[in-house]
Structure 1
């Protein structure tokens, strides 16, 4: 799904007008209309961040990089998986196995360095 489609969906869920959203992010209703028609994309990253914050979604969700609306801070904080490892779409069981494997590798290399 493209940025404009996501934006329209989120705006309609909140039941606000393009004009109301424009006021919130400091752009005109016409610009919001251009965004929703996928004719334009925010040039100012602060506009993008403000929109994401208002709808309580991640910027990645807003631009279509993920279908997860908001990453849970608790899950990210608990996870031992580094951010740069692409684990999107893996079930919880698979994520647990990845974490266990990371622990195993860490243990192995800590042991090897001591000998």
Structure 2
């Protein structure tokens, strides 16, 4: 998903108009429209940081560096480091990563907290 699509999606999910976003970013509504159409990209890091802060997402997310890409890379690293998952577990992990790809960072953090909670619980069957 491109920056343009992510920006528009975030703005709409937060019930903001292009004008409201433009005012927040101290740019024109036309600039926001151009960002969302993909014909322009923010020129400075202030704008990217402001967008990320406003919508509580990472700049990596805005730029299309997906959680899946980063996490898949970590899984590959673990696999190379002698901790080997069977094919079934690896497939389940891959499916999980692709299903959470577009979730906001706060939801991902909550999911991680849930996973940590369940890992601490005694397992009844293995």
TM-score band w.r.t. shorter chain: 0.5 to 0.7
Structure 1 runs (4+) greater than 2 angstroms displaced: none
Quote the residue 1:36 is aligned against.
36
Residue-pair matches, total: 81
When the two structures are superposed, what TM-score results if normalisation uses the length of structure 2? 0.56
Matches within 5 A, 1:1-115: 1-67=1-67, 88-89=71-72, 98=78
- Helix, strand or coil: the match of 1:30? helix
TM-aligned CA deviation for residue 88 of structure 1? 1.8
Aligned counterparts of 1:10 and 1:67: Cα–Cα separation in 2: 16
TM-aligned CA deviation for residue 54 of structure 1? 0.3
Higher Rg: 1
Gaps of 5+ in 2: 83-126
When the two structures are superposed, what TM-score results if normalisation uses the length of structure 1? 0.61
Gaps of 5+ in 1: 69-85, 103-115
Aligned counterparts of 2:70 and 2:65: Cα–Cα separation in 1: 13
Aligned counterparts of 1:87 and 1:44: Cα–Cα separation in 2: 24
